Amino acid sequence: MPFIRTHVHQSTSPEHRQGIVMGIHQALVDSIGMPEDELFNMVNDYGAGQFFFDRTFNGMARSERPVVVEITLRRGRSDAMKRALYAAIARNLKANAGVAPDDVFIFMHENDYSDWSVGGGKFAMALVQQRGPG
């Protein structure tokens, strides 16, 4: 179950926020086979003086309103899957919310089942062990 934290400029409309969230979600479903019902995306705002960045780092042409996507998920995806995921997120954000690909920052944080509790105070590793191999 990936947990996503998306940071958008405070002026981002509710419609664009929805497009961003669903674009990220669909990329996860399409690129790494995440189940459709695993949508957990917390959207946070930033304003002037809260996010400092170089608009041309690494040859990009960024606006003043980049979107930062932090993905925390269980370890085990290949570099090829991650490349496909990053490309799909950038493509979907452009299509769904008009976000320029140069304005999309993506950071991946990987961990193990033992690092999660997804409800009821239950240790996620115990839930996986109960289900057994799928």
Contact 27, 85 (CB under 8 A): yes
* Confidence at residue 128, expressed as pLDDT on a 0 to 100 scale: 52
Contact 27, 99 (CB under 8 A): no
Region 7-21 average pLDDT: 97
> At 47, which amino acid appears?
G
pTM above 0.95, yes or no: no
The mean of the pLDDT values for the chain is 91
Please report, for the domain that includes residue 31, its CATH number: 3.30.429.10
* Angle, helix 79-97 to helix 14-32, in steps of 10 degrees: 150
Structural domain boundaries, residue 44: 3-131
Q: What residues pair up with 41 in beta bridges, in sequence order?
A: 4
Residue 18 pLDDT level (bands cut at 50, 70, 90): very high
- pLDDT tens figures, 68-107: 999 999 999 999 999 999 999 999 999 999 999 999 999 9
Contact 72, 109 (CB under 8 A): yes
Asked whether the CA dihedral 32, 110, 72, 23 is positive or negative, the reply is: negative
Region 1-15 average pLDDT: 96
Region 6-32 average pLDDT: 97
Tell me the C-alpha distance between 117 and 111, whole Å: 12
* Confidence at residue 119, expressed as pLDDT on a 0 to 100 scale: 78
Report the domain count for the chain.
1
Region 2-20 average pLDDT: 97
Contact 25, 43 (CB under 8 A): no
Residue 123 pLDDT level (bands cut at 50, 70, 90): confident
Listed residue (27, 3, 23, 25) closest to 15, CA to CA: 23
